Structures are given as structure tokens and as C-alpha cells.
Chain A
Amino acid sequence: MEDIHIKGVHEAYFMPTVNFEVATGNCEISGESYLEETTKFYAPLLNWIRDYIDTVRGPLKFDIKLSYFNTSSSKCLVDILDMLKTYQKKGGQVTVNWYYEDSDEELEEVEDFILETGLQINKIPME
């Protein structure tokens, strides 16, 4: 299995930067997420996580630093968090850090992701 490296693009659509590393289990999704075909973009990321959980079985650290994501992207983010929660329940080591800017609304949204998925998420202010 291979790393995923996608460089973010801000054009008519906004593609987030993605870095998933097999050797360390360190994963980052940052920038902005508004895509023409949201599920098509996130499917390989979900497959990567599934493969990592099935074959590598190592720790997973997720750093999410999204300054903007639309509601379609939020559904895919929940899919990722669900997968991490399932892994954690089976004994996998999972850390999720969610970096937020300075709005209450963003914090509320992260809290809702926690309630929605049952996963512990560390809320960290963005510098």
C-alpha cells in the first residue's frame, strides 16, 4: 500500500490538501473542501483507511485543518470518523486533532461531529 499525497487547489472547486503516510499512520486533510464529485474524491481516502486498518493495523493520527468545507464534504468527513471509531472499538490506536479558526460555529460543528460519531476529537485553535 502506498502513501496518498494530493496538493490542494483553489479554483472553481476547492480541493483539500491530503497527506496519508503508511509508515507513520500520520494523516492530514487541510485547506478547503468543495468538490464537483465529493464522494468520488473521498472514496480513495476511505479505501486507504480501510486497507491500513486491515493490513498495517498501526496507529492512526488524523490532523484535520479545514478552513472551509461544504455540507456534502461534511458527510464524507463523518464517514471517515465513523471508520476511525470502528477501528478504535476493535482496539486500534486513533488520535484525531481538529484545528479550528476562531468562530463558535466551527467549534459547535466539531462538537456535533463528536456527538454524531462517538469519537473523541481534540479541538485545537489554528495558529
Chain B
Amino acid sequence: MEKKDGKYDFSLYEYHNLLHQNILVSYKGPIDERVMTVIGENIEILTNDGNDKAKSKIFKIFMELAQNVWLYSAESCKTVSGKKLGMGTLVIGEFGDSYTFVTGNVVKNNDIEPVIEKCEIINSLDRDSLREYRREQRRLANTGKKNSGNIGLIQVALTAESPLDIELTPVSDEESFFSIAVKIKKTSAKS
């Protein structure tokens, strides 16, 4: 978006067209409960092609992943009352017989390693083992053990019935952009 001859080199039309194809919802900015309410409602309205199960799956996944951006993004801003809001990007796309939900945010390289390890464990497990992992991690969280709190990612993989497609792109020596994409079938294979 650099200025050239006093004009911005940014075409909103191209940006719109890029998003127009297959993208139902796209948001970039701070995330808090108000943003979550609006996007949550938009998801409900815009995913009419899917059955009710797919809708409730997307909603559940959205709630967990958006919450992670809000709480753990390394890029943040503060409200007037001093509340810290994580910034990030959310995109919900519709591709044929499935929806894809993607969230991304800047992370500190030092903080992201355990999250990536967790995602790799999640992706290596079959459904029964994943359920066992959720039980075990929830149990650890309830006994107050450190680094075991977040069972959100396990829940996301179980709800989506698909692996967590993660990507880490370095943006500086200390920070990277971390994204998680999950695919949700419009009609669940098990229903």
C-alpha cells in the first residue's frame, strides 16, 4: 500500500475479487467478544449450504480458534479500559463439499514450538487415541499442571474430523506468522 504519485497502490476492487471467490467471511484486526458475536452470527447465516451438523461444527471450531488468536497473538492492542486484544486474521471459505476455516496471527518463535509439537501429536493420532489425549490433557489441566491447559486444539481436530493444517512463516528473527486451517465436510461422513 505504498504511495505512488500521491495515490495508494492498492486496488480495493482486486482485493474484493480475491475474497469474492469462495470466501464467505474474512476478518483482520483485533478480536474480542463483540467481534466473535458478529462473526459467529455471520457464520450461521452464510453456511446455509451445509447441514445443521456442519454449521454447529464450524461454530464450535470458530469459537476455539478465534479465542486462541484473541488470547495468544503476539500482536495486540489495548481497549480504552486497558483490556488486551490479540490481533489476527480469520477466513471461512467454501470449496465444493466442504468449508475451510483458517485463523492466523503473529507469534513469538520461542512460544510457538510447544503449540506446533501439540499439533503434530494431534495429527498423528487416530480418533480413539485423540479422545484419550483429550481426557488426559483435561485431567492434567484440572490438576493445575503447567502447559497442559489448552485442549481447544484437540477439540478442533475432533470436531472437524480432519487434521490441523498448520503453517509457520518467519517474519523476523523473533516472530513468525502462524496459521491453522481445518476442513469441515458439509455433510458429516458419520451421519
Q: Which residues 10-65 in A have Cβ within 8 Å of B in the complex?
A: 11-13, 34, 36
Q: Are B37 and A74 in contact (CB under 8 A)?
A: no
List chain B residues, Cβ under 8 A from A102: 53
B interface residues, how many (CB within 8 angstroms): 28
Question: Is there an interface contact between B159 and A78, defined as CB atoms closer than 8 Å?
Answer: no
* B141 and A75 within 8 A (CB): yes
Closest to A108 in B: B131
Neighbour of A74 across the interface among B36, B67, B138, B159, CB < 8 A: B138
- With A34-B63, A78-B139, A112-B134 given, name 19 new contacts (CB 8 A): A12-B33, A12-B34, A12-B37, A36-B33, A70-B63, A70-B67, A71-B138, A71-B151, A71-B155, A74-B151, A75-B141, A78-B138, A103-B53, A103-B188, A105-B158, A108-B131, A112-B131, A115-B135, A116-B139
Is B56 in contact with chain A by the CB < 8 A criterion?
yes
Q: Provided the pairs A34-B63, A71-B155, A116-B135 are in contact, do residues A13 and B33 lie with their beta carbons within 8 angstroms?
A: yes
Alpha-carbon separation in the docked complex, A71 to B59 (Å) = 13
Residues of A within 8 A of B158 (CB): 105, 108
Q: Does residue B191 face the partner (Cβ distance < 8 Å to A)?
A: yes
Q: Is B175 an interface residue (CB 8 A)?
A: no
Name which residue of chain B comes closest to A12, CB basis.
B33
User: Count of chain A residues with Cβ under 8 Å from any Cβ of B?
Assistant: 21
Residues of chain A within 8 A (CB-CB) of B67 are: 70
Closest residue to A79 on the B side, CB-wise? B142
Most interface-central of A13, A71, A75, A108 (chain B CB within 10 A): A71
Number of A-B residue pairs, CB cutoff 8 Å, is 51
B29 part of interface (Cβ distance < 8 Å): no
Q: Interface code A96-124, partner B: CB below 8 Å = 1, 0 otherwise?
A: 00000011110010001001100000000
Query: Which of B5-43 touch A at CB < 8 Å?
Result: 33-34, 36-37
Asked whether A71 and B152 contact (CB < 8 A) given A34-B63, A79-B142, A112-B131, the answer is yes
Which residues of chain B from 123 to 167 have a CB within 8 Å of any chain A CB? 131, 134-135, 138-139, 141-142, 150-152, 155, 158-159
The 5 closest A-B pairs by CB, nearest first: A12-B33, A116-B135, A12-B37, A71-B151, A71-B152
B143 to chain A, nearest CB (A): 11
**Which B residues lie within 8 Å of A36 (CB)?**
33
Q: Which residue of B lies closest to A116 (CB)?
A: B135
The residues of A that contact B134 with a CB separation of less than 8 Å are 112
Whole-angstrom distance between the alpha carbons of A12 and B57 in the complex?
A: 19
Are the C-beta atoms of B60 and A68 separated by less than 8 Å? yes
Closest to A70 in B: B63
Q: How far is the CB of A38 from chain B (nearest CB, A)?
A: 11
Chain A residues contacting B34 (CB-CB under 8 Å) are 12
